[in-house]
Amino acid sequence: MLKIKTLALLALMACPIHLSAQELEYKMEIGAMAGMSSYLGDANYTNPLSHLKPAGGLVARYNFNTRMALKFNLSYAGIGGNSAERSNKYPDGKNWKFDTSVVDFGCQYELNFFGYGTGAATYKGNKRLAPYIHLGLGMTYGQGVKPEGSVFTLNIPIGIGVKYKLKPRLNVGLDWSAHFSLDDKLDGIVDPYGIKGSFLKNKDSYTMLMLFLTYDIMPKYRKCNN
Protein backbone atom coordinates (compact mmCIF):
# COMPACT_ATOMS: atom_id res chain seq x y z
CA MET A 1 0.00 0.00 0.00
CA LEU A 2 2.84 2.37 0.87
CA LYS A 3 4.53 1.59 -2.43
CA ILE A 4 1.37 2.49 -4.41
CA LYS A 5 1.01 5.82 -2.57
CA THR A 6 4.68 6.60 -3.20
CA LEU A 7 4.33 5.91 -6.94
CA ALA A 8 1.18 8.07 -7.14
CA LEU A 9 2.93 10.93 -5.36
CA LEU A 10 5.91 10.73 -7.72
CA ALA A 11 3.57 10.79 -10.74
CA LEU A 12 1.81 13.91 -9.46
CA MET A 13 5.13 15.61 -8.85
CA ALA A 14 6.40 14.70 -12.30
CA CYS A 15 3.31 16.02 -14.13
CA PRO A 16 3.86 19.77 -13.58
CA ILE A 17 7.58 19.33 -14.24
CA HIS A 18 6.79 17.70 -17.56
CA LEU A 19 4.31 20.44 -18.51
CA SER A 20 6.64 23.25 -17.56
CA ALA A 21 9.25 21.81 -19.91
CA GLN A 22 6.87 22.22 -22.82
CA GLU A 23 5.56 25.38 -24.45
CA LEU A 24 1.83 25.69 -24.00
CA GLU A 25 -0.52 26.42 -26.88
CA TYR A 26 -2.81 29.44 -26.51
CA LYS A 27 -6.33 30.11 -27.71
CA MET A 28 -6.02 33.84 -28.40
CA GLU A 29 -3.68 36.68 -29.37
CA ILE A 30 -4.21 40.37 -28.68
CA GLY A 31 -2.14 43.31 -29.84
CA ALA A 32 -1.75 46.47 -31.87
CA MET A 33 -0.86 47.35 -35.45
CA ALA A 34 0.33 50.40 -37.38
CA GLY A 35 1.06 51.18 -41.01
CA MET A 36 -0.21 52.94 -44.12
CA SER A 37 -3.50 53.10 -46.02
CA SER A 38 -4.58 54.17 -49.50
CA TYR A 39 -7.74 54.67 -51.53
CA LEU A 40 -8.99 53.12 -54.78
CA GLY A 41 -12.10 54.51 -56.45
CA ASP A 42 -13.39 57.09 -58.92
CA ALA A 43 -10.42 59.42 -58.29
CA ASN A 44 -7.80 56.65 -58.41
CA TYR A 45 -8.39 53.38 -60.23
CA THR A 46 -4.88 52.04 -60.70
CA ASN A 47 -2.27 53.17 -58.17
CA PRO A 48 -2.59 51.70 -54.64
CA LEU A 49 0.49 53.70 -53.54
CA SER A 50 -1.07 57.09 -54.33
CA HIS A 51 -1.85 59.47 -51.42
CA LEU A 52 -0.63 57.15 -48.67
CA LYS A 53 -1.98 57.99 -45.20
CA PRO A 54 -1.17 56.71 -41.69
CA ALA A 55 -3.26 53.88 -40.24
CA GLY A 56 -3.38 51.96 -36.98
CA GLY A 57 -5.57 49.88 -34.73
CA LEU A 58 -6.11 46.87 -32.51
CA VAL A 59 -6.09 43.21 -33.53
CA ALA A 60 -7.15 39.93 -31.89
CA ARG A 61 -7.08 36.32 -33.06
CA TYR A 62 -8.92 33.26 -31.86
CA ASN A 63 -6.75 30.30 -32.86
CA PHE A 64 -8.74 27.17 -33.68
CA ASN A 65 -5.49 25.29 -34.27
CA THR A 66 -2.02 25.94 -35.72
CA ARG A 67 -3.45 26.38 -39.26
CA MET A 68 -6.72 28.29 -38.79
CA ALA A 69 -7.77 31.39 -36.88
CA LEU A 70 -10.53 33.97 -36.69
CA LYS A 71 -9.09 37.49 -36.72
CA PHE A 72 -10.83 40.66 -35.48
CA ASN A 73 -9.62 44.18 -36.19
CA LEU A 74 -10.60 47.71 -35.18
CA SER A 75 -8.72 50.12 -37.42
CA TYR A 76 -8.49 53.82 -38.17
CA ALA A 77 -7.16 54.80 -41.61
CA GLY A 78 -6.80 57.96 -43.64
CA ILE A 79 -7.79 58.01 -47.31
CA GLY A 80 -7.51 60.71 -49.94
CA GLY A 81 -7.27 61.35 -53.67
CA ASN A 82 -7.24 63.91 -56.46
CA SER A 83 -8.93 63.17 -59.77
CA ALA A 84 -6.83 65.87 -61.51
CA GLU A 85 -3.80 63.60 -61.12
CA ARG A 86 -5.42 60.90 -63.22
CA SER A 87 -5.66 60.74 -67.00
CA ASN A 88 -9.41 60.01 -66.77
CA LYS A 89 -11.77 62.55 -68.35
CA TYR A 90 -15.14 62.99 -66.66
CA PRO A 91 -18.37 63.88 -68.52
CA ASP A 92 -18.85 67.23 -66.77
CA GLY A 93 -15.18 68.16 -67.20
CA LYS A 94 -14.78 68.76 -63.46
CA ASN A 95 -12.18 67.37 -61.08
CA TRP A 96 -12.32 66.94 -57.33
CA LYS A 97 -10.05 66.00 -54.45
CA PHE A 98 -10.79 64.76 -50.95
CA ASP A 99 -9.04 63.94 -47.69
CA THR A 100 -10.97 61.97 -45.09
CA SER A 101 -10.72 58.94 -42.77
CA VAL A 102 -12.46 55.65 -42.11
CA VAL A 103 -13.04 53.49 -39.05
CA ASP A 104 -13.03 49.80 -39.94
CA PHE A 105 -14.28 46.91 -37.82
CA GLY A 106 -13.88 43.49 -39.37
CA CYS A 107 -13.69 39.76 -38.89
CA GLN A 108 -11.68 37.49 -41.18
CA TYR A 109 -11.09 33.76 -41.49
CA GLU A 110 -7.33 33.28 -41.60
CA LEU A 111 -5.56 30.23 -43.06
CA ASN A 112 -1.83 29.62 -42.58
CA PHE A 113 -0.01 27.88 -45.42
CA PHE A 114 1.42 25.50 -42.81
CA GLY A 115 1.31 25.01 -39.05
CA TYR A 116 2.44 27.94 -36.92
CA GLY A 117 4.10 27.43 -33.56
CA THR A 118 7.19 26.50 -31.58
CA GLY A 119 8.21 24.17 -28.76
CA ALA A 120 6.50 20.81 -28.32
CA ALA A 121 4.19 21.48 -31.28
CA THR A 122 7.08 21.50 -33.78
CA TYR A 123 6.99 17.72 -34.05
CA LYS A 124 3.88 18.26 -36.23
CA GLY A 125 5.93 20.27 -38.71
CA ASN A 126 4.96 23.70 -37.33
CA LYS A 127 7.23 26.65 -38.08
CA ARG A 128 8.12 29.97 -36.47
CA LEU A 129 7.44 31.71 -39.81
CA ALA A 130 4.05 31.26 -41.48
CA PRO A 131 2.53 33.06 -44.49
CA TYR A 132 -1.28 33.23 -44.58
CA ILE A 133 -4.32 34.42 -46.50
CA HIS A 134 -7.60 35.80 -45.14
CA LEU A 135 -11.16 36.64 -46.19
CA GLY A 136 -14.03 38.08 -44.19
CA LEU A 137 -16.65 40.76 -43.65
CA GLY A 138 -16.32 44.23 -42.18
CA MET A 139 -18.06 47.51 -41.44
CA THR A 140 -16.79 50.91 -42.58
CA TYR A 141 -17.63 54.29 -41.07
CA GLY A 142 -16.42 57.19 -43.22
CA GLN A 143 -15.86 60.47 -41.37
CA GLY A 144 -15.86 63.95 -42.87
CA VAL A 145 -17.19 62.75 -46.23
CA LYS A 146 -18.64 65.63 -48.24
CA PRO A 147 -21.46 66.41 -48.84
CA GLU A 148 -23.00 63.60 -46.73
CA GLY A 149 -20.85 64.30 -43.65
CA SER A 150 -20.51 60.60 -42.82
CA VAL A 151 -21.05 57.25 -44.53
CA PHE A 152 -21.70 53.80 -43.05
CA THR A 153 -21.33 50.71 -45.23
CA LEU A 154 -20.24 47.07 -45.24
CA ASN A 155 -16.98 45.93 -46.80
CA ILE A 156 -15.42 42.67 -47.91
CA PRO A 157 -11.76 42.38 -46.82
CA ILE A 158 -9.30 40.03 -48.51
CA GLY A 159 -5.57 39.88 -47.93
CA ILE A 160 -2.29 38.15 -47.35
CA GLY A 161 0.34 38.30 -44.64
CA VAL A 162 3.19 36.67 -42.82
CA LYS A 163 3.71 36.11 -39.09
CA TYR A 164 6.79 35.22 -37.06
CA LYS A 165 6.99 33.96 -33.48
CA LEU A 166 9.62 36.07 -31.70
CA LYS A 167 9.08 34.37 -28.33
CA PRO A 168 6.84 31.50 -27.16
CA ARG A 169 4.04 34.06 -26.54
CA LEU A 170 5.09 37.02 -28.73
CA ASN A 171 4.23 37.33 -32.43
CA VAL A 172 5.14 39.91 -35.07
CA GLY A 173 3.87 40.12 -38.63
CA LEU A 174 3.06 42.12 -41.75
CA ASP A 175 -0.50 42.15 -43.12
CA TRP A 176 -1.83 43.61 -46.39
CA SER A 177 -5.59 43.83 -46.94
CA ALA A 178 -7.93 45.29 -49.56
CA HIS A 179 -11.38 46.37 -48.29
CA PHE A 180 -14.03 46.47 -51.01
CA SER A 181 -16.90 48.60 -49.74
CA LEU A 182 -20.51 48.23 -50.86
CA ASP A 183 -20.89 52.01 -51.25
CA ASP A 184 -19.64 54.64 -53.70
CA LYS A 185 -19.69 57.64 -51.36
CA LEU A 186 -16.40 57.37 -49.46
CA ASP A 187 -14.71 59.83 -51.83
CA GLY A 188 -17.62 62.29 -51.84
CA ILE A 189 -18.84 61.59 -55.38
CA VAL A 190 -21.21 58.97 -56.78
CA ASP A 191 -21.10 57.52 -60.31
CA PRO A 192 -19.23 60.38 -62.09
CA TYR A 193 -19.67 58.52 -65.40
CA GLY A 194 -23.39 58.01 -64.82
CA ILE A 195 -22.98 54.22 -64.78
CA LYS A 196 -25.09 52.55 -62.14
CA GLY A 197 -23.09 50.19 -59.92
CA SER A 198 -24.08 46.81 -58.51
CA PHE A 199 -22.61 44.89 -55.57
CA LEU A 200 -18.82 45.55 -55.82
CA LYS A 201 -18.97 47.18 -59.27
CA ASN A 202 -18.24 50.95 -59.32
CA LYS A 203 -17.70 51.06 -55.54
CA ASP A 204 -14.98 52.66 -53.45
CA SER A 205 -12.30 50.61 -51.69
CA TYR A 206 -9.19 51.09 -49.60
CA THR A 207 -6.09 49.11 -48.70
CA MET A 208 -4.08 48.82 -45.48
CA LEU A 209 -0.51 47.60 -44.98
CA MET A 210 -0.01 46.94 -41.27
CA LEU A 211 2.86 45.83 -39.05
CA PHE A 212 1.41 44.06 -35.99
CA LEU A 213 2.64 42.81 -32.62
CA THR A 214 0.50 40.39 -30.59
CA TYR A 215 0.75 38.51 -27.28
CA ASP A 216 -0.70 35.04 -26.64
CA ILE A 217 -3.32 34.64 -23.90
CA MET A 218 -5.71 31.92 -22.64
CA PRO A 219 -3.61 28.71 -22.57
CA LYS A 220 -5.27 25.58 -23.87
CA TYR A 221 -5.93 22.71 -21.46
CA ARG A 222 -3.06 20.24 -21.46
CA LYS A 223 -3.22 16.69 -20.06
CA CYS A 224 -0.39 15.12 -18.13
CA ASN A 225 1.22 12.52 -20.40
CA ASN A 226 3.36 10.73 -17.79
Give the model confidence (pLDDT) of 168-210 as tens digits.
Answer: 999 999 999 999 999 888 887 766 665 665 556 778 899 999 9
> Regarding predicted confidence, which is higher, 151 or 148?
151
Residue 87 has a pLDDT of: 64
Q: pLDDT band for position 16 (50/70/90)?
A: very low
Interval 98-124 mean pLDDT: 85
Task: Choose among 166, 179, 171, 167: nearest CA to 207.
Answer: 179
Residue 42 has a pLDDT of: 75
Is 62 a residue whose pLDDT tops 50? yes
Is 139 a residue whose pLDDT tops 50? yes
Q: Which of 8-12, 91-95, 197-201 tops mean pLDDT? A: 91-95
> Could you give the CA distance from residue 75 to residue 34 in angstroms, rounded to a whole number?
9
Residue 206 has a pLDDT of: 95
Domains of the chain: 25-219 (2.40.160.20)
What is the chain's mean pLDDT, rounded? 82
pTM: 0.81
Q: Which residues does 20 contact at the CB level (< 8 Å), separation at least 6?
A: none
> Could you give the CA distance from residue 147 to residue 154 in angstroms, rounded to a whole number?
20
Residue 119 has a pLDDT of: 60
* pLDDT > 70 in the chain, percent: 71
